[in-house]
Amino acid sequence: MEGEVVSAIADVARAAGVSKATASRALSGRGYVASDTRERVVEAAARMGFVVSTNAASLVTGQTHNVGVVIPTLNRWFFTEVLEGIESALIAAGYDLTLYRLSADASQRQRVFDYFLVRKRVDAVIAVGIALTATEVELLKSLGKPIVGIGGEIEGISTLCVDDVAAARLATEHLIDLGHRRLMHLGGDRDEQLDFRVHAQRLAGFREALAGSGITIENDFRATSYTIPDGYTVGLSVLTDPAMRPTAIVAGCDEIAIGVIVAARELGITVPGELSVIGIDDHQLAEMFRLTTIRQLPAEQGALAVGILMAELSKSRAPEQVAPQFVPVNLIVRESTSAPRVLHT
């Protein structure tokens, strides 16, 4: 079958008076071909009843027009949003996507990279929330596969990431500026976090903001998972004792924040009258719960990563110097935060 496809492209190329590579580019729409040449190839193909396919083009050019995406999990909002952004941008660019979920198991991870390397089924790789090792980066580069990372800095490749310390600091400073001095951070467990230490970085940003304002809090942190049910559970635990209750909570993500708001409502605690809550993400449910949050737009990060890949694929080699690109975040103020009640009286 492959021989028949190559032969058909060769026939079209001869009829149009161009090379097989030029015919493939003209029919696939990928790569530069002069407009008059493209028209000549298309007309020849139409006369011969030839229909272009990605497989046909790849046989001539050696490119699959397929991008591999490695990702640690699919059941968290951030990763699904990034993936949607990647998929939409790849479709617009005429590329397919192959998804690989990397577990913590080293042998499984090695098999995934061996699949990339030995079978050569992808033209490029996007690593989402995965800290590639120096060896993995060099192996992919040695085969001419551009790589882009999302979620943190990876030495030697283009990366997109949010400054998680700065994001949590911005959220905390918003509450401090409103007059809150009894704050608590409900974030991820530092012993159970994915690559790039997001949980630890957001706790660090929270504590930086407190220290910068001269605020000392003995019991300032509770660990939980990044889900609405776990946010609800830890919220009940924190808010049940009025003597220990903070006036404001900085949640490690919007899902925790939403769970806290539900817990507060169940306990008869008004938000923001008696408790201010801020999250990080701008989750799709944030608007419904009128949640003040730090917006980071993960889908746009996915689309940006594809744009970087397309630029690298169009060149003969990757850029020699690569610096991480920090994606800006924005404070979105809604109705879940206000000055503490004492300031209203």
Digit-coded pLDDT (tens) for 218-250: 999 999 999 999 999 999 999 998 888 999 999
Q: What pLDDT score does 15 carry? A: 87
Q: Examine residue 257 and state whether it is found in any structural domain, yes or no.
A: yes
Assess whether 340 and 207 both reside in one domain: yes
* CATH number of the domain residue 190 falls in: 3.40.50.2300
Assess whether 204 and 309 both reside in one domain: no
Give the structural domain span for 17.
2-61
Assess whether 171 and 286 both reside in one domain: yes
Assess whether 282 and 183 both reside in one domain: yes
pTM of the model: 0.79
Starting at the edge strand that comes first in sequence, how are the strands of the sheet with 158-161 ordered?
A: 96-101, 66-71, 124-128, 147-150, 158-161, 325-326
Digit-coded pLDDT (tens) for 290-306: 999 999 999 999 999 99
Assess whether 192 and 272 both reside in one domain: yes
Q: Examine residue 89 and state whether it is found in any structural domain, yes or no.
A: yes
Residue finishing a domain among 30, 61, 92: 61
Q: Which residues of the chain have pLDDT under 50?
A: 1-5, 56-57, 59-61, 343-345
Assess whether 123 and 263 both reside in one domain: no
Residue 144 CA, chain-centre distance (Å), reads 23
Q: Examine residue 106 and state whether it is found in any structural domain, yes or no.
A: yes
Alpha helices in the chain (DSSP H): 2-16, 20-28, 35-48, 54-61, 77-93, 106-119, 134-142, 164-177, 198-212, 228-239, 254-266, 298-313
Q: What pLDDT score does 31 carry? A: 62
Q: Examine residue 320 and state whether it is found in any structural domain, yes or no.
A: no
- The count of structural domains within the chain is 3
Please list the residues that pair with 326 across neighbouring strands: 161
CA distance 216 to 200: 19
Q: Examine residue 180 and state whether it is found in any structural domain, yes or no.
A: yes
Q: What pLDDT score does 7 carry? A: 61
Q: What pLDDT score does 22 carry? A: 83
Q: Examine residue 319 and state whether it is found in any structural domain, yes or no.
A: no
Q: What pLDDT score does 119 carry? A: 66
Q: Examine residue 15 and state whether it is found in any structural domain, yes or no.
A: yes
Q: What pLDDT score does 139 carry? A: 83
Assess whether 227 and 134 both reside in one domain: no
Assess whether 193 and 280 both reside in one domain: yes
CA distance 331 to 170: 7
Assess whether 94 and 157 both reside in one domain: yes
Q: Examine residue 102 and state whether it is found in any structural domain, yes or no.
A: yes
